[in-house]
Amino acid sequence: MRPCNRNVRDWMLFFLLLSSLATYPLSYAAEPQTQQPDSLQSDMVNPGYHDKPSWFKESFLDLREDIQEATAKNKRVMLYFYQDGCPYCAKLLQDNLGQKKLADKAQKYFDVIAINMWGDKEVTDLQGSQTTEKKFTEKMKVMYTPTLVFLTEQGNVALRVNGYYAPNKFETALDYVHGKNESKLSFRNYVQKFIKQSSTGKLHQQPFFLQPPYNLKELVRSSKPLIILFEQQECHSCDELHSDVLKRKETLEQIKRFNIVRLDMWSNEKLIDMQGKTTTARLWAKKIDVNYSPSFVFFDNKGKDIFRVDAYLKSFHIQSVMDYIASGAYVKQPNFQRYISERADKLEAQGIHVDLMD
């Protein structure tokens, strides 16, 4: 049962709203208003707004309470971090949850709670502290949208999905968390076991890949930041990355600013890791928790993992991440979404059209 003081507060706010509306004459709405560039008329929604499914939970955003309620229904909590105007959020809602099979499965096994990464709604976090959606997003280190965080009954993270997953892999994530497999099997092994997809079945070579043997401890000391690109042979997304994104002129310009090592995340190829220890690509991928291919992992010159791209992203986003790291902007602007938005605006101002889904 919810505390009665919250109900009292909500009713008070409701009556105050009614009384304030009653003070305005009926002709008020017809009077011309000065419209700010980003303000909205009464019959409009935010630009880029996407309707969420009606079965998403209407939560007071007391996350500990949400977990208790979900557990009582034999469900788990899925936090959906989003922002208006996010094409990948639209893709998740339309292409994934627009399929009855996936929507039914998500609704049956999860209480899905939407968190606006720029929102000011009050949130009671997993430690019981009062915060806002925006600050909670920062605390959870959500860098781009959509991000899905699946929580266990104890409030721990069962799985985190950074970015968009195609429908088949999204369903695999739902099955993984619903089946409580996090205590038995890593998601990367679960995916390897259950996802079958058509692909070329080979690793693609690029002239800008550094060649083995790989001493990562030495490579990070270079004047250029280091990218480790994790791939695997059976990987449709890897095929697409090489046939499109890595061939584009804008991508190649960004790549010149990095040293790039490509590793097969399942191979026994030997390397020296950031601590100077001999290991294999497979064991190191597991150690640093790489669960998806392709994954870009960016390291600074101290061997620190500073950023990752481990989800489906198109060309402009990949190029923007590279620019974000190579320029050092990540040090001054910790929020990648703000950076990419500003970058898109600057390019548009220069007459360069930006298509986020191209």
* Long-range contacts of the stretch 3-7 (C-beta < 8 A, 24+): 6/60
Do 172 and 232 reside in the same domain of the chain? no
Characterise 351 by phi-psi region: left (phi > 0), alpha (psi -120 to 50), beta (else). Answer: left
Do 229 and 156 reside in the same domain of the chain? no
| 66 to 1, 30, 40, 139: CA distances (angstroms) | 12, 42, 32, 19
Beta bridge partners of 215: 272
Mean pLDDT of the chain: 85
Determine the average pLDDT of the residues in 184-209: 84
Tell me if 298 is assigned to some domain: yes
Do 233 and 181 reside in the same domain of the chain? no
User: Are 128 and 64 in contact, with CB atoms under 8 Å apart?
Assistant: yes
At 13, which helix (H) or strand (E)?
Answer: helix 4-22
Do 223 and 278 reside in the same domain of the chain? yes
Tell me if 10 is assigned to some domain: no
Tell me if 222 is assigned to some domain: yes
Tell me if 19 is assigned to some domain: no
Lowest mean pLDDT, pick from 33-37, 49-53, 244-248: 33-37
Tell me the pLDDT tens digit for each residue of 280-293.
999 999 999 888 88
Can you give the pLDDT at residue 48? 65
Do 160 and 219 reside in the same domain of the chain? no
Q: How many domains does the chain have?
A: 2
Does the pLDDT value for residue 23 go beyond 80? Answer: no
| Confidence tier at 225 by pLDDT (50, 70, 90) | very high
Residue in the block written with tokens 């009050």? 122
Amino acid at residue number 162: N
- From 160, 194, 228, the end of a domain falls on 194
**How many CA atoms are closer than 13 Å to the CA of 218, on its beta-carbon side?**
8
Other beta carbons within 10 Å of 82: 24
- Report d(CA 194, CA 173) in Å as an integer: 11
Can you give the pLDDT at residue 198? 63
Do 180 and 266 reside in the same domain of the chain? no
Do 188 and 242 reside in the same domain of the chain? no
Tell me if 3 is assigned to some domain: no
- Report d(CA 194, CA 197) in Å as an integer: 10
Determine the average pLDDT of the residues in 133-156: 95
Tell me if 133 is assigned to some domain: yes
| Confidence tier at 196 by pLDDT (50, 70, 90) | low
- From 128, 161, 194, the end of a domain falls on 194
User: Are 81 and 138 in contact, with CB atoms under 8 Å apart?
Assistant: no
- From 161, 194, 227, the end of a domain falls on 194
- What's 184's DSSP letter? T
The closest of 292, 321, 315, 169 to 242, measured between CA atoms, is 315
Residue in the block written with tokens 């419209």? 35
Determine the average pLDDT of the residues in 150-177: 94
Beta bridge partners of 161: 148
Do 246 and 185 reside in the same domain of the chain? no
Do 187 and 254 reside in the same domain of the chain? no
What residues make up the domain containing 252? 214-349
Do 233 and 155 reside in the same domain of the chain? no
Cis status of the peptide bond prior to 37, with omega within 30 of 0: no
CATH number assigned to the domain comprising residue 188:
3.40.30.10
pLDDT top residue among 281 and 236: 281
**How many CA atoms are closer than 13 Å to the CA of 284, on its beta-carbon side?**
25
245 three-state secondary structure: helix
The closest of 220, 351, 241, 218 to 295, measured between CA atoms, is 241
Can you give the pLDDT at residue 192? 77
